[in-house]
């Protein structure tokens, strides 16, 4: 998805929120903000919003001198997710359709997103999980994905946020068939996106081979990804991608991708005729 005019003030708002999340030093906050605004003034709107996110968070990491400013919060969110996963696991096992229920928890887990500060509080997270079995989703698409997984010979699962990864693990555990799964994360930290270290803490190595995409961009910016990752992306029979930044960056991809996300942004909602708050299971092609 291209960048809309509405994204520009939102980038600046997000960068201010992000800098404040990381430091109380008003000078650092101000310096980051001014650099971000200068970058935004020159941003090419044909680029995708997560590419601007990449620039913003590089600036914030540079200005704060911290290569992984969300580390503490990422670890806390993995802890919280592991705690919540006990109940989710019970509910999945007890469900009539454990695959669909696990998929629902995987989308519920997409609430653990620090790019949208207002979504990150315990109440909202618990609310997202409480409604996991009841929130409307496209059950036909869910069934289609299940049947495709059953017959597949290889699967690439592209993760999104730390914490959320725990629920991706529960979902992968319910995959029918016996296709090997690769779980892709970021090469290095950006916001609270999962890296290999984060995925390991969530136990993804128990259900998949963890790989990284060679970048520090939110979502999956294919033109930046490593050859190894692109080999998996184009070589796997099924690709599943989680979260809104993957949705934005992969809807234009030149292969089929199953996209699972919560819709958190009004601009994306309007562009694709969704509503903010929708839980999406779709394909790009």
Q: Name the site residues for its own copies (rule: CB under 8 A).
A: 5-6, 8-10, 12-13, 16, 29-30, 33-34, 37-38, 40-41, 45
Q: In terms of CB distance, is 19 or 88 closer to its own copies?
A: 19
- How many whole angstroms separate alpha carbon 129 and alpha carbon 124? 9
* Nearest distance in Å: CB 22, its own copies: 14
Compare residues 62 and 126 and give the one whose CB is closer to its own copies: 62
Quick one: 5 or 94, whose CB is closer to its own copies?
A: 5
**CA 265 – CA 91 distance, rounded (Å):** 29
Least distance between its own copies and beta carbon 3 (Å): 11
Q: How many CA atoms lie within 13 A of 176 on its CB side?
A: 14
C-alpha–C-alpha distance, residues 140 and 148, integer Å: 12
Q: How far is the CB of 41 from its own copies (least distance, A)?
A: 4
Sheet strand arrangement including 238-242: 209-212, 181-185, 155-158, 238-242, 258-262, 279-283
**Which C-beta is closer to its own copies: that of 27 or that of 254?**
27
| Least distance to its own copies, CB of residue 21, Å | 14
- Select from 234, 235, 178, 181 the least CA-distant residue to 211: 181
d(CA 9, CA 169): 36
Q: What's the min distance (Å) between Cβ of 264 and its own copies?
A: 18
Q: Which is nearer to its own copies, 34 or 255 (CB)?
A: 34
């Amino acid at each position: 998805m291209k960048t809309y005019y509405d994204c520009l003030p939102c980038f600046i708002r997000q960068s201010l929120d992000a800098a404040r999340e990381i430091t109380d030093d008003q000078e650092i906050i101000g310096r980051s903000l001014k650099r971000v605004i200068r970058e935004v003034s020159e941003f090419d709107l044909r680029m995708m919003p997560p590419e601007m996110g990449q620039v913003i968070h590089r600036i914030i990491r540079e200005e704060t001198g911290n290569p992984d400013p969300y580390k503490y919060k990422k670890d806390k969110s993995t802890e919280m997710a592991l705690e919540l996963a006990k109940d989710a696991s019970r509910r999945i096992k007890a469900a009539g359709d454990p695959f669909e229920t696990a998929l629902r928890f995987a989308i519920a887990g997409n609430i653990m997103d620090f790019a949208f500060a207002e979504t990150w509080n315990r109440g909202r997270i618990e609310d997202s999980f409480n409604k996991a079995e009841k929130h409307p989703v496209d059950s036909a698409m869910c069934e289609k994905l299940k049947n495709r997984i059953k017959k597949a010979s290889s699967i690439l699962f592209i993760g999104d946020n730390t914490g959320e990864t725990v629920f991706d693990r529960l979902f992968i555990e319910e995959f029918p068939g016996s296709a090997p799964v690769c779980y892709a994360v970021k090469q290095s930290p950006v916001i609270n996106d999962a890296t290999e270290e984060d995925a390991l803490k969530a136990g993804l190595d128990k259900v998949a081979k963890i790989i990284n995409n060679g970048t520090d961009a939110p979502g999956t910016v294919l033109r930046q990804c490593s050859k190894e990752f692109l080999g998996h992306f184009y070589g796997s029979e099924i690709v599943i991608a989680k979260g809104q930044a993957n949705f934005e960056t992969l809807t234009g991809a030149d292969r089929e991708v199953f996209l699972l996300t919560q819709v958190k942004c009004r601009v994306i909602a309007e562009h694709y005729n969704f509503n903010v708050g929708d839980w999406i299971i779709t394909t790009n092609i």
